[in-house]
Amino acid sequence: MTSKYSDRENKRISEEEYSNYQVGDDVTITNDKGKVQVIGTVREVIHDETGLDGYVVENLETKELTVLFQGSKAPGQEGDWPDWVENNIPMVWNILTYKKSVTPQLDAAANKLNQILKDYPDSKVNLYAHSLGSMEVQISLARVDDITRIGEVHIYQGPNIYPTLTEEERLKADAMKYRIINHVDEYDIIAFGYNSKNSDNAVGIVRHVDSKNLGVDRFIEQHMWGGYLFNADNSLKVKNDTSRYEYHFSTSLDIARSGMYLNLMKKRKMLLDGLSRSEEIFLDSDQAQLISSGLSSAAKTAFETINKITEQAHSEAEVILSSTRTVPWGFVSSADEVEEAYYAGGITRASIVNDVDSYFEPMEEKAKKLSEDFENLEIQIKSSITDMLKKDNELAGEFNEWNKMK
């Protein structure tokens, strides 16, 4: 999944769930360039008797909605009772006992998201949440009416509610796994219940944050993103586990995973009356397109990654080569004499730049060929299906109708 915001900016967007906005206000962040950036305009302030709080934010230019579900009120603040006594504590018990049930506030969040989809039928919906809000997003996605309407999802520091989900809820949540980024800081005691090495049995890709341990006396600050560390390019520092690869190939994985889920849902509906031969052809062709598209996307991503590594290695080799003309401090030799000395020792363009290129370029060529092969396979499958439908108008009409199914 490619986000239009950096990791640091996504965190800042989520932090806005705790700000005090009114309908008509612009939700803004300071972006990585130090400029004020408008995310959208508040269309609804979410608040109900269960303690559910948040905002529905609309961006008319991108036709996107951003839904912010707020985390718990701090103990002693107005509204803390429903958050802690009626939701957080019961949910901890449900998670630990694998009870297939959630609290009223989480139920309300799931209902609210589906109502938002109805109220804004033409908009993609992105979701951000922290802490209790993360649990609300997890259940909302597991019960969402239409997975194709969900765009980016960024959740932070919430407990893992996967054990409380029914099999059908897990199936739906898993269908969107690779567009949901679930950030977890292991030093935060609130974000519990996750596998420390991968994203198994959890809602979304679990990014294990390579965070700073602030100590038990600063546990609140730890929970409020206080241990998060960022790289120079504003990407989040994460641990070296399987989530790195899931995140890198998330777009390709999502094409296959969500597509296969939709295919399964269509098959279930068709099976109610028994599958006809035409329906079998449709499901098989639909599945073939999904698999070929996912493989093509993954191969393209791999080639782009290797290409970037190759270019970076070449650039670094050029820098090293240019340094052979640098006269070390204290030497009286000229740059030409220093270069000749390196040359005499076997340090030349051939031994630095050319050797690096000869090492990486064959891998780059193989990746390029693989990417082209899968792209051609995808084209051939689509072309074969198109040719088949041109010869059978009745089947073509049925395909059009079945493609509308969700």
pLDDT value of position 212 = 97
Q: Cα angle vertex 98, ends 96, 101, to 5°?
A: 110
Tens of pLDDT, residue by residue over 46-57, are 999 999 999 999
pLDDT value of position 279 = 67
pLDDT value of position 72 = 94
Largest CA distance in the chain: 90
Point out the residues of the chain with pLDDT beneath 50: none
DSSP string, 39-96: EEEEEEEEE-TT--EEEEEEETTTTEEEEEE--PPPTTSTTHHHHIIIIIHHHHHHHH
> Hey, is 249 helix, strand or coil?
coil
Total count of residues recorded for the chain: 406
DSSP label at residue 204: S
Q: From edge to edge, which strands make up the β-sheet containing 150-156? A: 26-30, 36-47, 53-59, 64-69, 124-130, 150-156, 180-184, 205-208
Amino acid letter, 296: S
- Specify burial of residue 65 (Cβ count, 10 A radius: 0-12, 13-18, 19+): buried
pLDDT value of position 111 = 98
H or E segment and range at residue 374: helix 355-390
Among 210, 213, 292, 214, which Cα is nearest to 243's?
210
pLDDT value of position 206 = 96
Contact 23, 43 (CB under 8 A): yes
For the chain, give every domain's residue range.
7-248, 265-403
pLDDT value of position 76 = 82
pLDDT value of position 124 = 95
SS3 per-residue string spanning 159-194: CCCHHHCCHHHHHHHHHCHHHEEEEECCCCCCCCCC
pTM higher than the cut 0.85: no
- Specify burial of residue 271 (Cβ count, 10 A radius: 0-12, 13-18, 19+): exposed
pLDDT value of position 282 = 65
pLDDT value of position 194 = 96
Dig out the tokens for 55 from the structure.
């905002």
CATH fold label, 7-248: Rossmann fold (3.40.50)
| Residue 325 Cα distances to 243, 336, 343, 351, 354, angstroms | 43, 7, 11, 15, 18
